[in-house]
Amino acid sequence: MHRFFVKKEIPDSGIFILESEAIAHQLSRVLKIKRGEDVVFFNGGGFDVVTKIDKISSRYVSGKITRRIQNSKDPSCEVHLYSALIKKDKFDWVLEKGTELGVKFFHPLLSERSVKTGVNLDRALRVVKEATEQSGQDRIPEVLESMKFPDAVDRAPEGETRILFDPNGEPLSLKKEDMKRVHVFIGPEGGFSEKEREYAKNHGFSIASLAPRILRSETAAVLATGLILTL
């Protein structure tokens, strides 16, 4: 069933009326949903609400709630992904695949070798919302403002698992008991500078490698996230 995130309370039962031109258009014009078909609405409150569509107008959608299903697909490990800014389409891919895997906080990172200096937050939030809908998760990740590398290192709390991935690092070693909250740093094309690696190391970060080969930034971001979230 198709899933849609909504920013409003959803009743436990009865008729649900949603005023949204965007969702009405997508249901009727894009997905060709007909009266009597089921769709799912959710608002991050822990439940998928199955609704049998009764009417779709140009401005709203209405239907009868038939089921509330508890959603437990969000991972227990809270991953903060600090991914260096790269070209727009590749960074969008990091946002999309990171969301599908279960990243809950994206921190766009400005490093010495970054090719971009900012992120379009509206576009980024649209990407993670659609990926959350598609992947069946309940909570949409947060995408924060871009920050400089030293500021990001300083903000990652001591006492939590903090890993900077670099081809020259030690082989990755993870323990499940350390995976409650993890801060993952991924460099741009060309990697982190020696100065940045030393800064992170001096602040207690683990410096780890993912593979004996050189990976693209977006590949490293998804691989690192996947390894952590599948423990």
For 42, the 3-state DSSP assignment is strand
Distance, CA of 183 to CA of 55 (rounded, Å): 45
Which of these, 175, 181, 186, lies nearest to 161 by C-alpha position?
Answer: 181
Looking at 70, 93, 123, which one is the last position of a domain?
Answer: 70
pLDDT beyond 80 at 183 = yes
Same domain, 127 and 53: no
Looking at 17, 43, 70, which one is the last position of a domain?
Answer: 70
Report pLDDT for 118: 86
Same domain, 123 and 175: yes
For residue 83, give both structure tokens.
């991914």
Same domain, 31 and 13: yes
Same domain, 144 and 53: no
pTM above 0.85, yes or no: yes
Contact assessment for residue 18 and residue 51, using Cβ atoms and an 8 Å cutoff = no
Q: For the chain, how many structural domains are there in total?
A: 2
What is the CATH number for 162?
3.40.1280.10
Distance, CA of 129 to CA of 139 (rounded, Å): 9
Domain span holding position 16: 3-70
Same domain, 94 and 164: yes
Q: Give per-residue pLDDT as tens, 149-163.
A: 999 999 999 999 999
Question: Counting every residue, how long is the chain?
Answer: 231
For residue 37, give both structure tokens.
């078909």
Angle CA 13–17–23, to nearest 5? 120
Same domain, 184 and 91: yes
pLDDT beyond 90 at 231 = no
